[in-house]
């Protein structure tokens, strides 16, 4: 699947023309939002957790280089080997070189957005290494030759029937859309791969600075098998994924599952503290952590947007976003989507390629409320819009609208007329009908214009309040 954020307009049109997609995204996000709400309402100290998490990430990002050095030292003590990658090409090269050196023929993978970001799978497959995703959602999108459409629920855009058809066509199994039967098919096939793989590649949710431990969180135990069955484990981790210590990790674990799926806790929390086969007779013989920069050092130095690196990829902002709910994840044209995606796309890919991303937002503010790390996403989206506009990437109607508005606010008589006139014109419309606006009113109605005008209304309010 070849997507680019430059084509988002076409992807949005395609998504809106697909009622099945809308239904699947709606079902999944509504369930996640409701389950999260019920859990958060019962957690009296939720806001305190958000504040602590924000403070922990601020502490990490304020001295990212120093924290990475400390993490490296503790990893070495644990016999974890670190590989540093300045960009996605270097990350791919390091992993490929390692796989070749160790004679790796087959790799099992668990869900990792960082490996999606560096496009690792196509590189491994092109090098002749069999590479199999083992998270059920990832396995499904890999069979479809797609990328995940959500940060935590990769196949959220598909229905059970879509998956049944896919398995029937690609795996040759009898058609079924029963979830347990579909799961049994995937489990049977994946088990064989776990047992015969030479290398397991995972992402990393957190790297704990003061102990040199990597934490991988999941619900299906596929990451556990990916870590523990092959002889080599490679964790691919963005350099911002650090947390100071185990105590702060506990606060993040408390919010991550709750925000992602409304669970009190994830089913499995894997702590990787070094190779264990020699010592315990099980687990990997060798453990590597690939630390991927790919622009993160630059992003951490940004006086405002550094905060977007505090993201723990829970997906809560996607579930709450009215734009994501309409179009799903592929419409964003890259591996990160939803409110956090539109902040990351221009930062990773540049303001030219990612210029349309920050427009995919209604500025309703729900994402900020839903974020367990208190990332002020709407403020960052506005900042990115400003930066994109300053580079001259504005559209004709937008420029015309802004020029007209600037004239109006500088000429009080014109302003008065402009705010009075639409209200009077509104009276000519049949009751309850709003003006048609090309494109906009195809999906919704414009609010009715005020028939009094701002000044009259303001003076009335002033009189009423007696000020
Ligand atoms: S920005 Fe916040 S809500 Fe969105 S995925 Fe990241 S941590 Fe979750």
What is the full per-residue pLDDT of the chain (467 aa) written as tens digits? 778 999 999 999 999 999 999 999 999 999 999 999 999 999 999 999 999 999 999 999 999 999 999 999 999 999 999 999 999 999 999 999 999 999 999 999 999 999 999 999 999 999 999 999 999 999 999 999 999 999 999 999 999 999 999 999 999 999 999 999 999 999 999 999 999 999 999 999 999 999 999 999 999 999 999 999 999 999 999 999 999 999 999 999 999 999 999 999 999 999 999 999 888 888 999 999 999 999 999 999 999 999 999 999 999 999 999 999 999 999 999 999 999 999 999 999 999 999 999 999 999 999 999 999 999 999 999 999 999 999 988 888 888 988 999 999 899 888 888 888 888 887 888 777 777 777 777 777 777 777 777 778 888 888 888 76
How many other C-beta atoms lie within 10 A of the C-beta of residue 454? 13
Q: From the alpha carbon of 316, which atom of ligand 1 is closest?
A: 3
How many other C-beta atoms lie within 10 A of the C-beta of residue 161? 12
Give me the half-sphere count of Cα atoms (radius 13 Å) on the Cβ side of residue 373.
Answer: 28
Q: From the alpha carbon of 367, which atom of ligand 1 is closest?
A: 3
Could you give the 3-state DSSP secondary structure of residue 427? coil
Q: What pLDDT score does 9 carry? A: 93
Which residue minimizes the CA distance to atom 4 of ligand 1? 317
**Does any ligand 1 atom lie closer than 6 A to the CB of residue 309?**
no
Report helix angle 396-410 to 412-426, nearest 10: 110
**Does any ligand 1 atom lie closer than 6 A to the CB of residue 68?**
no
**Does any ligand 1 atom lie closer than 6 A to the CB of residue 317?**
yes
**Does any ligand 1 atom lie closer than 6 A to the CB of residue 205?**
no
Q: CB of 88 within 8 A of CB of 119?
A: yes
Separation of 371 CA from ligand 1 center, angstroms? 5
Separation of 278 CA from ligand 1 center, angstroms? 39
How many other C-beta atoms lie within 10 A of the C-beta of residue 266? 18
Strand order in the sheet with 232-238: 81-85, 286-292, 232-238, 199-202, 106-109, 130-133
Q: Ligand 1 test: best mutation among 314, 345, 361, most atoms within 8 Å of CB?
A: 314
Sign of CA dihedral 24, 28, 33, 38: positive
The secondary structure of residue 190, as a DSSP letter, is H
- In sequence order, the 6+-apart residues with CB closer than 8 A to the CB of 240 are 60, 61, 64, 296, 300, 309, 310
Pick from 193, 203, 236: nearest CA to 110: 203
Strand order in the sheet with 206-208: 242-243, 206-208, 213-218, 268-272
Which residue minimizes the CA distance to atom 3 of ligand 1? 371
The secondary structure of residue 264, as a DSSP letter, is S
Q: From the alpha carbon of 314, which atom of ligand 1 is closest?
A: 8
In sequence order, the β-bridge partners of residue 108 are 132, 200
From residue 276, how far is each of 27, 128, 232, 295, 456 by CA, in Å?
42, 29, 11, 33, 76
Euclidean distance between CA atoms 124 and 132, whole angstroms: 10
Q: What pLDDT score does 328 carry? A: 97
Q: What pLDDT score does 467 carry? A: 67
**Does any ligand 1 atom lie closer than 6 A to the CB of residue 381?**
no
* Composition of the chain by helix, strand, coil, percent to 5: 55, 10, 35
Euclidean distance between CA atoms 425 and 449, whole angstroms: 9
How many other C-beta atoms lie within 10 A of the C-beta of residue 426? 16
Euclidean distance between CA atoms 62 and 302, whole angstroms: 11
Separation of 307 CA from ligand 1 center, angstroms? 11
Pick from 273, 298, 294: nearest CA to 207: 273
Q: What pLDDT score does 453 carry? A: 73
The secondary structure of 3-45 as a DSSP string is --GGGHHHHHHHHHT-HHHHHHHHHHHHHHHHHHHHHHHT-TT
**Does any ligand 1 atom lie closer than 6 A to the CB of residue 384?**
no
Euclidean distance between CA atoms 269 and 275, whole angstroms: 17
Pick from 76, 75, 74, 94: nearest CA to 84: 94
Q: What pLDDT score does 393 carry? A: 87
């Amino acid at each position: 699947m070849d997507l680019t954020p430059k084509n988002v307009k076409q992807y949005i049109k395609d998504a809106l023309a697909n009622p099945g997609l809308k239904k699947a995204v709606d079902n999944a996000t509504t369930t996640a939002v409701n389950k999260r709400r019920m859990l958060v309402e019962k957690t009296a100290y939720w806001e305190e957790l958000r504040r602590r998490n924000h403070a922990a990430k601020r502490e990490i990002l304020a001295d990212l280089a120093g924290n990475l050095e400390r993490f490296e030292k503790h990893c070495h003590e644990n016999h974890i080997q670190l590989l540093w990658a300045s960009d996605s090409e270097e990350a791919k090269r390091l992993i490929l070189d390692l796989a070749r050196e160790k004679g790796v023929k087959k790799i099992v993978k668990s869900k990792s957005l960082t490996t999606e970001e560096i496009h690792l799978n196509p590189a491994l497959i092109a090098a002749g290494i069999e590479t199999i995703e083992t998270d059920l959602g990832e396995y499904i999108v890999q069979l479809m030759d797609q990328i995940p459409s959500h940060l935590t629920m990769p196949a959220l855009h598909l229905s059970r029937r879509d998956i049944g058809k896919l398995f029937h066509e690609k795996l040759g199994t009898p058609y079924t859309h029963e979830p347990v039967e579909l799961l049994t098919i995937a489990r049977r096939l994946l088990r064989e791969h776990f047992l015969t793989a030479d290398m397991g590649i995972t992402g990393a949710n957190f790297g704990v600075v003061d102990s040199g431990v990597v934490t991988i969180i999941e619900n299906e135990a596929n990451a556990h098998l990916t870590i523990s069955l092959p002889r080599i484990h490679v964790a691919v981790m963005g350099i911002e994924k650090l947390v100071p210590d185990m105590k702060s990790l506990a606060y993040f674990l408390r919010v991550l599952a709750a925000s992602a799926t409304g669970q009190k806790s994830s089913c499995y929390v894997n702590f990787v503290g070094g190779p264990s086969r020699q010592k315990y007779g099980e687990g990997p013989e060798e453990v590597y952590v690939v630390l991927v920069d790919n622009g993160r050092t630059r992003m951490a130095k940004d006086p405002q947007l550094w905060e977007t690196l505090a993201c723990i990829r829970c997906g809560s902002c996607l579930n709450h976003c009215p734009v994501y709910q309409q179009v799903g994840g592929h419409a964003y044209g890259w591996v990160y989507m939803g409110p956090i995606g539109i902040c990351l796309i221009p930062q990773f890919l540049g303001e030219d390629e990612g210029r349309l991303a920050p427009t995919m937002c209604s500025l309703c503010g729900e994402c900020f409320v839903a974020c367990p790390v208190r990332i002020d996403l709407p403020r960052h989206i506005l900042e990115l819009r400003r930066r994109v506009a300053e580079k001259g990437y504005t559209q004709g109607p937008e420029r015309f609208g802004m020029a007209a508005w600037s004239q109006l606010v500088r000429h009080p008589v014109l302003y008065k007329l402009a705010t009075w006139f639409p209200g009077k014109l509104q009276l000519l419309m049949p009751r309850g009908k709003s003006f048609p606006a090309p494109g906009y009113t195809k999906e919704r109605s414009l609010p009715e214009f005020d028939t009094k005008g701002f000044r009259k209304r303001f003076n009335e309010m002033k009189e009423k309040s007696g000020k």
